[in-house]
């Protein structure tokens, strides 16, 4: 029996995270065993390129899952949109 | 129902106030905050501020902030307009209006809206300096403290 492929997770980067990663968006299959924002960050850092530098200062990286602010323990599922960005500075 | 807009073009505060009060004769006071681009930051001259946002999230975040203001104060209407893109010194960045029967609610809600917007809406500012170079604006503790005073 063939397994149906799960939809990828869409990763978005904003502000200096976007600049350090070198792209605004990427899509990837959620690796087995990764189910939280924190786990996803570890996976992304392991992919290298600009990502380790982008996540070097974890305490100043904020996150949203499906357009809602989220924390390191927040759940991530296939098909989710996960955004990483610095603390907001609008207004 | 709040009027919430994110746009590149400028806004007209007078026209927005007129729009807010049109047909609402119960309004007795309107609070207004306009944020503008300063020409300096920590002693360095600024030539422009570039505002980036997270389009899929911004409208929702601003509406949630407006809904919270409407829950806390008896507002007869409110408006949030935030500009994005490249803005030069003197340009408008953000407009917040809150209308109520009495001034206390209008003024407090206006303060609340801008304080929460600064810490809970997905916008980021990048400064371009006269001597060259650019830098992302860091979030400041004073903004967090200002937002925290509305916690209850």
pLDDT tens digits for B1-16?
799 999 999 999 999 9
Domain range for A25: 11-85
ipTM: 0.91
Partner-chain contact A69 B82, CB within 8 Å: no
pLDDT at position B1: 78
Domain range list for chain B: 3-148
Task: Determine, yes or no, domain membership for A47.
Answer: yes
pTM of the entire structure? 0.93
The residue assigned the tokens 């501020």 is B49
CB A82 within 8 A of CB A12: yes
Q: Is A14 on the interface with B (CB under 8 A)?
A: yes
pLDDT at residue A1 tops 60: no
How is chain A split among helix, strand and coil, in percent rounded to 5? 25, 25, 50
Q: Write the residue in B114, B120, B124 that is nearest to A85 by C-beta.
A: B124
Best residue in B46, B54, B55 for a mutation probing chain A (most A CBs within 10 Å): B54
- For residue B21, give how far its alpha carbon lies from the nearest alpha carbon of chain A (Å): 23
What tokens appear for A71 in the block? 């924390």
The CATH number of the structural domain formed by B3-148 is 3.90.1170.40
Which of B54, B56, B123 is opposite residue A89, by nearest beta carbon? B123
Is residue A15 in some structural domain? yes
Confirm whether A3 is domain-assigned: no
With beta carbons under 8 A apart, name residues in chain A contacting B84. none
Summarize chain B as % helix, strand, coil (round to 5). 35, 35, 30
CATH of the domain at A71: 3.10.20.30
Find, in chain A, the residue whose alpha carbon is nearest to that of B111: A91
Q: How far apart are CA A20 and CA B50, in angstroms?
A: 18
């Amino acid at each position: 029996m063939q397994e149906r492929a799960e939809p990828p997770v869409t990763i978005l980067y904003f502000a200096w995270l976007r600049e350090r990663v070198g792209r605004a968006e990427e899509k990837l299959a959620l690796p087995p065993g990764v189910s939280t924002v924190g786990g996803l960050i570890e996976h992304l850092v392991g992919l290298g390129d600009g990502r380790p530098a982008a996540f070097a200062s974890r305490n100043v990286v904020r996150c949203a899952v499906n357009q809602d602010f989220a924390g390191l323990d927040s759940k991530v599922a296939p098909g989710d949109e996960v955004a990483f960005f610095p603390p907001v500075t609008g207004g | 129902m709040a009027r919430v807009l994110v746009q590149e073009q400028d806004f007209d505060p007078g026209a927005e106030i007129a729009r807010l009060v049109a047909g609402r004769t119960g309004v007795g006071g309107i609070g207004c905050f306009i944020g503008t681009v300063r020409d300096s930051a920590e002693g360095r001259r600024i030539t422009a501020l570039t505002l980036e946002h997270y389009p899929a999230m911004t409208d929702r975040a601003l509406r949630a902030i407006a809904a919270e203001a409407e829950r806390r104060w008896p507002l007869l209407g409110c408006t949030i307009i935030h500009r994005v893109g490249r803005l030069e010194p003197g340009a408008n960045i953000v407009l917040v209006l809150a209308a109520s029967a009495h001034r206390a609610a209008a003024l407090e809600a206006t303060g609340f809206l801008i304080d929460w917007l600064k810490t809970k809406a997905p916008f980021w500012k990048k400064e371009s300096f006269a001597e060259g170079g650019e830098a992302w604006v860091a979030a400041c503790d004073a903004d967090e403290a200002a937002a925290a005073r509305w916690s209850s």
